[in-house]
Every structure is written in C-alpha cells, then in structure tokens.
Homo-oligomer: A and B are copies of this chain.
C-alpha cells in the first residue's frame, strides 16, 4: 500500500513521527508535511505566494518533504508534483488534540484529508484527544487497520474518515464506534491586553461548551474512552433547508419589490 502522510502540527512533531514509524512496517510511506505548525488554518491554500519544498532529515535519515505552506497545500503538491503516481490513501496526523464537533471546521489535519478526498484519493484524519498526547502507537495501528478496511470496502468519492483516539493506554480503550459530528462548540473569549507601548491587543481563548450526550456522537464517544470514526464529506448543501426554502419562491423576489 502506498501512503501519503501529512499533518498540521508540522513535520517535526511527535505525532507524525510515531505514525510514520508504525505505517512503514507494512506500507510504502511518503511524508509531505508543513515546515511549521499550521493548527486551526482550516482549509487554507496558498495562492498569493509560491511554495518551497525542502528535504527534511530526522536522526540523520531522510524523513520527508517539508512545505512552507498549509496542510491542504502539502496534499495538493504531494499528489501533483512529488509523487509520481496517486497514493492508495492519504493519512493526516496524528494530531495532538481532538478534532471533534465544531473543531472539524477549523482543523488543518482534517482539511489535509479533505483535500485528498477532493482529489478522489481515499483519506483518513487521525487525532489523539490531548494536546500533550502520549499514546500515538495505538492510534497509528487504528489508522492502518482503517486504511486496510477502506482498501477492501471503498468509501464513496468525496467521503473521508475523521478518527479520534482517546489518549489512553490501549487496555483502557472502551472500543471503537461509528459516530456523527457533534454540536459542541466554543464559547470564545478575546483576552484584551496591552503591549509595552500601551496599545491593545486581543488573544483568542475560550471554553468548549459540550452539548453532545449520545454515544454515537464524536465528542461523547471520546469522552467515554471510545475511538470515534466519523464519515464526513464536503457537500455543504443543507438539503432539508433547500426543500423548505422552495416555499420562499425566491425566483419571484426580483419581480416584486425590486425588479425595475
């Protein structure tokens, strides 16, 4: 199996190193990852400036290609220019910290996997649920197992798996659950501070408001020590509202109050 690995914490993070170490036991792995941390960049891509690609070494050995861009950039240039053929799968991670509920929207880790799905390449985003995460090996094995599942039972084009693994020793993992994206979101706070010159600046912080109470929801599953596996896609159409809005008759909007 040919695997392209990316992440958003940067090519020098522990999570990607541990993932690659495990995947290499049974697959051909190419790493294309951001040179610097790219958390919360969402699905940002670099168009206004060019990209550089640097050979990155770890412990004296070639580890992969570092790109001075975003996670989505890495997947795009990885598939288009660095690899000679499309990989069998893209695995993004292992992220230090969970990507559940609203965080899926902000996540660079998920956007790298989503970019692969846009390019019709199967993809998995993997996160361990703790910013000071320690248990990467189990999460890496889960990623490999799911990659094998997908190889046998292909996902529809445009669908990817978002996987969150509790940061626990394997024997404390309660199991693995198929889940949906939760509705928990951040109560944002901007801390107002003053710089040494008396000018204001604002730093984003906040608390996650947990509203997810069912075990088949990503955020609740990880809280109960389950591995959470959510199929997500990039069709953002709200079909329910689409059907309801037919009653608006918006095609008549221009004729009425406005059209001259």
Query: Which positions in A face B, CB cutoff 8 Å?
Result: 37, 39-48, 50-53, 72-73, 76-77, 80-81, 102, 104-106, 111, 114, 118, 141-142, 145-146, 149, 153, 155-156, 159, 170, 173, 175-178, 180-181, 185, 188-190, 192-193, 199-204, 227, 229-242, 245-246, 248, 250-251, 253-254, 257-258, 260
Contacts and interface: CB of A to CB of B under 8 A. Distances in A.
A42 B72 contact: yes
Given A149-B250, A202-B77, A231-B245, A42 B236 contact: no
B173 A204 contact: no
Chain A residues touching B, majority SS: mixed
Contacts of A242: 178, 180, 230-231
Contacts of A258: 141-142, 145
B77 A201 contact: no
A196 to B, nearest CB: 13
A180 B237 contact: yes
